[in-house]
Each structure stands twice: as C-alpha cells, then as structure tokens.
C-alpha cells in the first residue's frame, strides 16, 4: 500500500470514528469532508502523473496522458474506496433501496468518466 492509499485509509478511519461519536446528524458534513479530501488526493496524484509525463518528454510511459491505464485504474480504485462508506451509509439509512441508489450513482459516475475519456481521446486524435 503506497503513501497515498495509507493517508486515505487514515482519513476514512477518522471519518468513520467521528460519525460514530457525533451520530448520524453530522453524516452529510463528514461525508462531504471526506470526499473533499479524496478529491484533493486525486488532483494531487493526477498532477504528479502529468508532471512525470512532461518530464518524460511526452513519450507516453505507463500512466501518462489522457485516458491512460493509470488514470482509469486510479479512478476505479478511488470509486471503490468511496463505495464502501457510501454503501454502508445508504444501507443503514434506506436499506436495499438506498444501497441500489448508491450503487446506481457509483456506476453512473464511472460511465460519465469513461465517456469523457473517450471524448478527450477522440478530440486529441482529430
């Protein structure tokens, strides 16, 4: 597990501990805070990848460029990491219906992301 993943796991544990202590009325604020931290981590990681790609001279090493395996894999991992607390919260609040809505949203976000990558790649090759 790399440093980014350890940091996110620590943040998730802290968020879940805070939810247990504060109760469900603070749930939305805690989830928003955690998502903001994940977003910051993703942006930092993408910036690092772009910097490495620029240093590589645009030769397109592993993980370089738009729609690369690294970007797709990273997005999928982040989605799955976020799916765990979202599923738990949804199932606790609205049982099966909440769980289905949460996973529909997760799948939708992944489809939108994949469509954006395809569009960027098509535009770049045109």
Structural domain boundaries of the chain?
3-125
User: Among 89, 121, 120, which Cα is nearest to 103's?
Assistant: 89
Q: How many CA atoms lie within 13 A of 79 on its CB side?
A: 19
pTM: 0.46
Q: What is the mean predicted confidence (pLDDT) over 29-57?
A: 78
Contact 53, 65 (CB under 8 A): yes
What's the pLDDT score for residue 65?
47
Q: What is the CA radius of gyration of the chain?
A: 17
Q: Which two tokens stand for residue 99?
A: 């769980």
Q: What is the mean pLDDT of residues 41-46?
A: 80
**pLDDT value of position 1:** 62
Q: For residue 114, name the pLDDT band (cuts at 50, 70, 90).
A: confident
**pLDDT greater than 50 at residue 63:** no
The dihedral region occupied by 61, where left means phi > 0, alpha psi between -120 and 50, and beta the remainder, is beta
DSSP codes of every residue in 28-86: HHHHHHHHHHHHHHHHHHHHHHHHHHHHTTT---TT-STT-HHHHHHHHHHHHHHHHHH
Task: pLDDT band for 125, please (50, 70, 90 cuts).
Answer: low
């Amino acid at each position: 597990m790399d440093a980014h993943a350890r940091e996110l796991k620590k943040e998730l544990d802290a968020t879940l501990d805070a939810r247990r202590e504060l109760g469900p009325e603070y749930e939305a604020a805690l989830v928003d805070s955690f998502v903001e931290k994940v977003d910051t981590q993703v942006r930092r990681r993408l910036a690092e990848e772009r910097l490495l790609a620029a240093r590589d001279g645009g030769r397109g090493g592993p993980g370089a460029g738009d729609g690369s395996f690294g970007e797709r894999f990273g997005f999928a991992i982040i989605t799955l990491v976020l799916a765990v607390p979202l599923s738990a919260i949804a199932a606790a609040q609205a049982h099966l219906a909440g769980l289905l809505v949460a996973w529909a949203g997760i799948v939708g976000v992944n489809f939108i992301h994949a469509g954006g990558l395809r569009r960027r790649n098509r535009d770049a090759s045109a």
